Chain A
Amino acid sequence: MQTDAVVSGSLRNRLVLILIGGAAVLAIFLFFAVRSYAVQVAQRGQDNILLASVTSMLDAAAFRDGVAEVDIPYAAFSMLNTPADDRVFYAIYQDDTFLSGYNDLGLLGENQGGQPSFQTRDYRDTSVREVTASRTLIGADQRTEIQIALAQTQDALADTLDQISRNAALLGLGFFALAVALSIWATQATISPLSRLTNSVTRRGPQDLSPFTKPVPQEMAPLVTSLNSLMGRLDQSLSQSEDFIAEAAHRVRTPLATVRSYAEATLLRVNKEENREAMRSMVKAIDESSRAAGQLLDHAMITFRADHLEREELDLVDLVRDLILRLTPVADMKDLTLDLRGEDTVTYAGDPILLQNALRNMIDNAMKYSPADGAIEISVRSEPVVAVTVSDQGPGFPLDEIETLTARFTRGRNADNTIGSGLGLTIAQDVATAHGGEITLRNREEGGACVILSL
């Protein structure tokens, strides 16, 4: 079965990318917004100074002896001093006739209504900010208009803008860095409930189909609800089939016992050798079926108990000894000896019924595959982990099947002429898993199989 999901993109990456992309766009926007605002403010600052300067020059214009005069105040140029030593140009006109200053510095046009006008333009190979303003002088019998153009280079302004651009860039970068950190954090925080859910699903035991009860964010509630309902149905159908199997096995076993006793009775009465042979085969088949039914029952019981494990303190050696005692008659029939080795007492907290079942299946298996007159060694130890080892002198496991033998209804290739359902090792495995341990299969060097139940 395919367990790997088909992956298309990543929610986390998508979220981080969207957030970082948004932050980058915002940071760039912030940079340009701050810069353009600063440009406006700085330009307005220069304009204000230029206007103040040109106004003070215009204020110094007056008629003297009937002649218009402009006595430029010292402060007019003084206030134009900048840290970058900007150059200053001016031209004074009277009714559009050049009076003084730089005669190539023209007046700006569209200066109607007496409002000063500003313009950035090229003058003498450099960019200057020019202001033009005018004032009408009214004399005794004349009126004249004094117009002044004043221009200043923009080096200090450029320096200021450089400074501001640097600061704005730093601001944008800082904002971006903060936004990246925040978006990573936010993504992490958003994704983490999903990871937690994934973790808790992954950590579950194979039999655990109970619903998720931990609180999850609202957006994940439908997912968890569906998951819970899916698992509920799965659980129900599983237990139904287990019930069905148990019920079926039970129903089959009782009539089988009746059939067997009839068959045995019949065997005693039949004299013809070929009929006796047929009857013996019949009894053997009935035994096999009955045993399989028993194991199915065991398995169903183990599946149930494993879900509701009841641990109690017990002595494993005692448990094994007890088992050996009960199995000795069967072993004697095959001329097998059961040897108990290892420590005298090994205490362990576990479900005695399950452990007994698992060990019985293991010993049972060993007895089935052991040649006659063989010895089966059973040893119990507590170090390094609590483990029970059952070894026989049989043919051992086929090496290429060793990994798959514990699956349900799987039987080894060499099991053809032995009775079995393929459930024995599965039961042992389920019990080990329920106790948090495992089953290890291997072949002994001197021949024979060895099954270790470590807990």
Chain B
Amino acid sequence: MRYLIALILGFLASTSFAQEWEDQRLFNDGAGGDALRVLSSTDTNLFAPLIEAYVAENPDTAVEYLVTGTADIDGLFREAPERFDVVISSAMDLQLKLANDGFALALDDVAHPEWAEWRNSLFAFTTEPAAIVINTAAFEGLPVPSSRQDLIGLLRDRPDLFAGRVGTYDIRRSGLGYLFATQDSRASETYWRLMEVMGGLDVRLYCCSGDMIDDLTDGTIAVAYNVLGSYAEARVESGERFKILDLSDFETTMMRTALVSKETTQVAEAASFLRAVIAYQSDDASNASPLPTLAQDGDRGAIPLDPATMTFLDSLKRKKFLEEWEDALIQN
């Protein structure tokens, strides 16, 4: 009886933190004890093979996989670091700041290349470029742009075709979108001109790559700027009607990172889970993961894991950047 009350109380407690998850799934629910709570920005279908491989090796551990946006992850985790055991996110800047602020547990026995880890507490396990994806039907008869400059010219020339049909991240809501945007702005002034052009075309703003690709697939938008390459590729392979642009000017590449919460109650399980993820993503030969692997040669194009990545998280700088972005993009 007492157990039942405890269970109910526990249930109430967990629902009192009622949270609107994008997705939520419990793997290996047969295992007793507390499930490993993984807070992630990666869609469940992309990450499920990794978790399934892990629970196959560790049948005693259940894994609860909770999906939400990168900005939400940062907020939720900072608020209650003890509620989550592992945090996985594509927003490298937010992840690095979590580690810098002392939320991540240092794991000394994880063998990982120096450029792909930070303080032995933040570990990168994929290398994924930001992609520009076009709907092939909408570009029927048009030259395929080979640089951002081309794209700007094309968008500017054919407002009839593209008005209301370009999409990009709403960087105010998406941590990853903000990371891509700030890195793009560092790479070239072209970014701002592109934003102005897109603003003139009444851009559609999205929270996530998945939604953007959905709209691209059904023809709602013709161009999606800074979509996660991995998501797009997963769909291109399934024969959908869009094309990832191969641009010659520059490419922003991010690394998906994972950390173990400093306040986790399951240190051993969380660490072994993280090691399993890294091992799974590093092993090219037997890799059945839908996620891209970590570039083994230390892709120099990727956003580096160093304190500079946090620069744009400064509230003054963020405010200024968002103002400029809004000025460029939202021209009602």
Chain A residues packing against B (C-beta within 8 Å): 69-78, 80-81, 83-89, 92, 99-101, 124-125
Contacts and interface: CB of A to CB of B under 8 A. Distances in A.
B102 interface: yes
Nearest to B100: A87
B186 interface: yes
Contacts of B309: 77
Contacts, number: 64
Contact of A77 (B114, B119, B311): B311
B308 interface: yes
A88 B316 contact: no
Query: Which 8 residue pairs spanning A and B have beta carbons closest together?
Result: A78-B308, A81-B306, A77-B307, A85-B119, A77-B308, A88-B307, A100-B316, A100-B315
Which of B101, B102, B305, B311 has most chain A Cβ within 10 Å?
Answer: B311
A72 B317 contact: yes
Contacts of B99: 87
Nearest to B315: A100
A257 to B, nearest CB: 113
A74 B186 contact: yes
Contacts of B304: 81
A100 B314 contact: yes
Contact of B316 (A69, A74, A75, A80): A69
Contacts of A75: 308
A23 B225 CA distance: 72
Contacts of A83: 114
B311 A74 contact: yes
B310 A77 contact: yes
B303 to A, nearest CB: 11
A74 B315 contact: no
A99 B102 contact: no
Contact of B320 (A71, A78, A124): A71
What does DSSP make chain B's interface, helix, strand, loop or mixed?
helix
Interface in B310-332: 310-311, 314-317, 320
A85 B118 CA distance: 6
Contacts of A73: 311
Given A78-B308, A125-B102, A69 B320 contact: yes
B306 A99 contact: no
Interface in B69-106: 99-102
A81 B99 CA distance: 14
Nearest to B183: A74
A84 B108 CA distance: 13
A80 B119 CA distance: 14
Contacts of B114: 83
A92 B308 CA distance: 17
Which of A77, A85, A101 has most chain B Cβ within 10 Å?
Answer: A85
Interface string B274-316: 0000000000000000000000000000001111111100111
Contacts of B320: 69, 71
Which of B119, B305, B307, B317 has most chain A Cβ within 10 Å?
Answer: B307
A99 B316 contact: yes
Interface of B: 99-102, 114, 118-119, 186, 304-311, 314-317, 320
Contacts of A85: 118-119, 305-306
Which of A80, A83, A84, A88 has most chain B Cβ within 10 Å?
Answer: A88
14 contacts: A69-B320, A70-B317, A71-B316, A71-B320, A72-B314, A72-B317, A74-B308, A78-B308, A80-B307, A84-B119, A87-B102, A89-B100, A100-B314, A101-B314
Contacts of B307: 77-78, 80-81, 86-88
Contacts of A71: 316-317, 320
A101 B314 CA distance: 6
Which of A69, A72, A78, A101 has most chain B Cβ within 10 Å?
Answer: A72
B308 A81 contact: yes
Contacts of B311: 72-74, 76-78
A151 to B, nearest CB: 11
Contacts of B100: 87-89
A312 B30 CA distance: 118
Given A72-B317, A100-B315, A125-B102, A87 B119 contact: yes
Contacts of A69: 316, 320
A92 B311 CA distance: 13
A216 B5 CA distance: 103
A402 to B, nearest CB: 85
A88 B100 CA distance: 7
Contacts of A78: 306-308, 311
A343 to B, nearest CB: 93
A100 B317 CA distance: 9
A7 B114 CA distance: 67
Nearest to B310: A77
B308 to A, nearest CB: 4
B115 to A, nearest CB: 11
A229 B329 CA distance: 115
Nearest to A53: B307
A71 B321 CA distance: 10
A74 B307 CA distance: 9
B51 to A, nearest CB: 28
A7 B199 CA distance: 104
Contacts of B317: 70-72, 100
Contacts of B305: 85
A70 B308 contact: no
Nearest to B306: A81
Nearest to A68: B316
A89 B99 CA distance: 12
B79 to A, nearest CB: 17
Contacts of A72: 311, 314, 316-317
Contacts of A80: 307-308
A268 B310 CA distance: 144
A12 to B, nearest CB: 52
Given A74-B186, A78-B308, A88-B310, 14 more contacts: A69-B320, A70-B314, A72-B314, A75-B308, A77-B311, A81-B306, A83-B114, A84-B119, A87-B100, A87-B102, A87-B119, A92-B314, A100-B316, A101-B314
A24 to B, nearest CB: 37
A83 B114 CA distance: 9
Which of A73, A83, A100 has most chain B Cβ within 10 Å?
Answer: A100
A183 to B, nearest CB: 45
A74 B317 CA distance: 11
